[in-house]
Amino acid sequence: MPTPKVKFNETAAKGEILEIKTMIDHDMESGQRKDKDGKLIPRKIVNKFICTLNGKELFHAEMHGAVSANPATNFFITATESGTMEFKWFDDDGSVYAISRQLTVN
């Protein structure tokens, strides 16, 4: 099962710029390779990533077949309020992989 990972400074001063680093262990199968019997391996990629803070969207990315295995996404936010940050990756098969972290803004 794909494993999401998130790294950032979970305590910040108000107005501080934070770098958020994310990655998910995922094969990102393009649907173009064949198995040992010569049959196409079905496409299975993470096609969307969303980060929210207290339910408000902070970052959104659409991914496509050319994205490599174990996609990493880094982005910056300005610390404005404390709360729950949720990170969700959406798979072609309908699976959603999620992880959450608390952000404390002083």
Model confidence at 19: pLDDT above 80? yes
Sign of the Cα torsion 18, 19, 24, 28 reads positive
CATH code for the domain of 40 = 2.60.40.10
Model confidence at 67, pLDDT cuts 50, 70, 90, reads confident
Q: Which residues contact 20 (CB under 8 A, 6 or more apart)?
A: 6, 7, 8, 51, 59, 74, 75, 76, 77
Residues 91, 57 contacting (CB under 8 angstroms): no
What residue numbers bound the domain in which 34 lies?
3-84+93-105
Model confidence at 75, pLDDT cuts 50, 70, 90, reads very high
Model confidence at 94, pLDDT cuts 50, 70, 90, reads very high
Ramachandran area for residue 46 (φ above 0: left; ψ -120 to 50: alpha; else beta): beta
Domain count, the chain: 1
Look up the pTM and report it: 0.89
What pLDDT, on a 0 to 100 scale, did the predictor assign at position 28? 86
What pLDDT, on a 0 to 100 scale, did the predictor assign at position 44? 87
